[in-house]
Amino acid sequence: MSMQKLTRDDLYSLEQYAGLRDEFRGDVLQHKRNRRLALGTNAALYFEDRMTMQYQIQEMLRIERIFEAAGINEELEAYNPLIPDGSNWKATFMVEFPEVEERQVMLRQLVGIENRVFVRVADFEKSYAIADEDLERSDEVKTSAVHFLRFELSPEMIAALKDGATLAAGIDHENYRVEISPVAENIRRSLLGDLD
């Protein structure tokens, strides 16, 4: 069964969350350790799921002090699309250059990188990311440092992964090439949980 989208009933009230926040945050950080995949030194995929999105929403509600239904529904509408649907993985893709000047130069050199990120199951074809379905984050001149990606997997790929097939991931952009093969077992195992 695919991962359920979040509803208002799944969320803690601001008051409840204030009491639970430290513990919940600890659980989420532990969970996220198995969901970050470095792609070389300057890029990473942060695979999202129901738990990471609930944390994101709870933090937004807390910071913005949102407790009215309309405001809560807006956050749910913004973040629910980032929860995987059972046949895909969804990830926040970050281009990470700590120095501002270098980052600005590199974001100009990496135009289109978000469309060149891939995952590959065993000997199947690469599955390239479908990027930024919510809004355009790049233009001809430069790319954004943050993108939202979706990787669609065929039923055959999912079956192979469940049977223990290796998983690789990478980027094949002319100015940034990397392949991680195989993806670490803790991450692979965590990602299996996103699939039907």
Residues of the chain with confidence (pLDDT) below 70: 1-2
Residue 123 to residue 46: CA distance in whole angstroms = 24
Structure-block tokens of residue 64: 């913005």
Q: What pLDDT, in 10s, does the model give residues 125-182?
A: 999 999 988 777 777 788 899 999 999 999 999 999 999 999 999 999 999 999 999 9
Helix axes 14-32, 50-64, angle to 10 degrees: 140
Structure-block tokens of residue 152: 């669609």
Q: What pLDDT score does 2 carry?
A: 57
Query: Alpha helices, DSSP H only, in 1-99?
Result: 14-32, 50-64, 69-79
Residue 194 to residue 68: CA distance in whole angstroms = 31
Instruction: Collapse the DSSP code of 104 into the 3-class scheme (helix H, G, I; strand E, B; otherwise coil) and give the result.
Output: helix
Q: What pLDDT score does 83 carry?
A: 95
Buried b vs exposed e over 78-111: b needs ≥16 C-beta within 10 Å?
Answer: ebeebbbbebbbbbbbbbebeeeeeeeebbeebb
For the chain, give every residue range classified as CATH 2.60.40: 36-48+84-196
Please, what CATH class does the domain formed by 36-48+84-196 belong to? mainly beta
Q: What pLDDT score does 150 carry?
A: 97
Query: 110, 117, 154: which is closest to 132 by C-alpha?
Result: 117
Query: 101, 111, 177, 176: which is closest to 139 by C-alpha?
Result: 111
Structure-block tokens of residue 142: 């430069």
Residue 1 to residue 89: CA distance in whole angstroms = 15
**Distances 160 to 102, 174, 184, 186, 195 between C-alpha atoms, Å:** 40, 30, 17, 17, 12
